[in-house]
């Protein structure tokens, strides 16, 4: 039950400090993809609810820090904690969420504790790579995949693997499911930045390229353009776009097939995720993949 996970998260932070819980209440609740995964893989026991709460607290902490690093003014359509308060507050709240989650993680098996800790180290490297790649245009597909693996897929991979271990299922097979789900999830996120509007996204559209992030559709687009259009695309990097430039960019994304090609990669990864756990015939986990590919925000 997701409500029980929410309550556990709340109580964990309430136990720490009264100001921390007041701040925590201002964090918008996300999709809780990781918590849903834990419950769908290992069932609805108190242990799986606790694991789900721990992982969601770590994820929430990482987003608090990410919004400071990205200087993001909004998170899920509402002002970010760094915008409402300040960066110091967001960093400190993130520290509390993250260290309390680690304290609770000690109650789990060494495999679970190590898997999550290792994932968070890689996640931190992923964020560093993301920042590094935002300094100048980055058109290497392999580097993009390595970065999104660490930034996004690694925690989802560890989520699925640890949930499986809690339920005595094959953690390697579930790790592969989680990894491919996470990669596909990030690719769809990157596609939506181009295809969805601001209202649906809860953040400005076409923001990635302006922030210096060259995502998969941009890598495919660049490969497909003639030299004049390549030059034009390069002039738009990190730029506040005019309406004409937005229309040009969105048009090229569609006509070049860069968006479709990226979605196809995500669909293929989704299928590979399902193949990894086919023997479990878990319809809920099949639906997670389908919903993730078809989502609008
Ligand atoms: C969002 O990416 C960022 C992440 C998924 C990872 C952030 C990780 C860290 C800050 C390091 C780990 C830190 C702790 C405290 C555990 P994005 O900026 O591409 O997406 P967005 O549009 O949702 O901001
Ligand atoms: Mg960000």
Domain boundaries defined on the chain: 1-107, 108-297
- Other CB atoms within a 10 A radius of the CB of residue 78 amount to 13
d(CA 170, CA 161) in angstroms, rounded, equals 8
d(CA 11, CA 18) in angstroms, rounded, equals 11
Cα–Cα nearest to 86, from 64, 111, 107, 112? 64
Any atom of ligand 1 within 6 Å of the Cβ of 65: yes
Give whole-number Cα distances, 248 to 157, 235, 242, 243, in Å.
37, 13, 10, 9
Q: Is 1 exposed, middle or buried (0-12, 13-18, 19+ CB in 10 A)?
A: exposed
Round the CA-based radius of gyration of the chain to a whole number and report it. 19
CATH class belonging to 108-297 = mainly alpha
- Other CB atoms within a 10 A radius of the CB of residue 227 amount to 7
Any atom of ligand 1 within 6 Å of the Cβ of 94: yes
Topology alike, domains 1-107 and 108-297 = yes
Determine if the pTM surpasses 0.85. Answer: yes
Cα–Cα nearest to 55, from 170, 202, 168, 154? 154
Cα–Cα nearest to 12, from 77, 110, 106? 106
CA 67 to centroid of ligand 2, rounded, Å: 5
Any atom of ligand 1 within 6 Å of the Cβ of 163: no
Any atom of ligand 1 within 6 Å of the Cβ of 120: yes
d(CA 40, CA 276) in angstroms, rounded, equals 16
Given a contact cutoff of 8 angstroms between Cβ atoms, the answer to whether 165 and 270 are in contact is no
Q: Which pLDDT score is estimated for 117?
A: 98
d(CA 292, CA 270) in angstroms, rounded, equals 9
- Would you write out the chain's pLDDT as a tens digit for each of its 297 residues? 899 999 999 999 999 999 999 999 999 999 999 999 999 999 999 999 999 999 999 999 999 999 999 999 999 889 999 999 999 999 999 999 999 999 999 999 999 999 999 999 999 999 999 999 999 999 999 999 999 999 999 999 999 999 999 999 999 999 999 999 999 999 999 999 999 987 777 777 899 999 999 999 999 999 999 999 999 999 999 999 999 999 999 999 999 999 999 999 999 999 999 999 999 999 999 999 988 888 876
Is the Cα torsion angle 266, 30, 45, 108 positive or negative in sign? positive
Any atom of ligand 1 within 6 Å of the Cβ of 186: no
Rounded to 5°, the CA angle 249-290-157 comes to 90
CATH (residue range 1-107): 1.10.600.10
Given a contact cutoff of 8 angstroms between Cβ atoms, the answer to whether 5 and 49 are in contact is yes
Cα–Cα nearest to 144, from 241, 63, 213, 231? 213
CA 281 to centroid of ligand 1, rounded, Å: 32
CA 65 to centroid of ligand 2, rounded, Å: 9
């Amino acid at each position: 039950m997701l409500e029980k996970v929410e309550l556990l998260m709340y109580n964990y932070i309430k136990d720490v400090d009264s100001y921390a819980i007041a701040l925590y209440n201002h964090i918008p609740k996300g999709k809780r993809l990781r918590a849903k995964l834990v419950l769908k893989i290992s069932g609805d026991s108190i242990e799986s609810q606790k694991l789900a709460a721990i992982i969601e607290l770590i994820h929430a902490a990482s987003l608090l820090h990410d919004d400071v690093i990205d200087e993001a003014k909004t998170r899920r359509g509402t002002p970010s904690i760094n915008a409402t308060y300040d960066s110091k507050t967001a960093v400190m709240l993130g520290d509390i969420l993250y260290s309390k989650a680690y304290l609770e993680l000690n109650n789990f098996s060494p495999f679970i504790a190590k898997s999550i800790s290792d994932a968070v180290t890689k996640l931190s490297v992923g964020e560093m790579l993301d920042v590094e790649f935002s300094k100048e245009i980055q058109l290497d597909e392999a580097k993009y995949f390595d970065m999104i693996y660490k930034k996004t897929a690694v925690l989802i991979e560890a989520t699925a693997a640890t949930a499986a271990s809690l339920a005595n299922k094959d953690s390697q097979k579930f790790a592969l499911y989680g990894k491919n789900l996470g990669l596909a999830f990030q690719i769809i996120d990157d596609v939506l930045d181009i295809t969805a509007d601001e209202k649906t996204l809860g953040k400005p559209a076409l923001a990635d390229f302006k922030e210096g992030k060259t995502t998969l559709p941009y890598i495919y687009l660049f490969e497909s353009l003639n030299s004049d259009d390549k030059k034009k695309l390069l002039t738009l990097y990190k730029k506040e776009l005019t309406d004409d430039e937005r229309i040009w960019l969105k048009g090229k994304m569609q006509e070049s097939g860069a968006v479709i090609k990226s979605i196809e990669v995500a669909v293929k990864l989704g299928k590979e995720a399902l193949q990894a756990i086919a023997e479990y015939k878990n319809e809920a986990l099949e639906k997670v993949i389908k919903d993730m590919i078809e989502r609008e925000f």
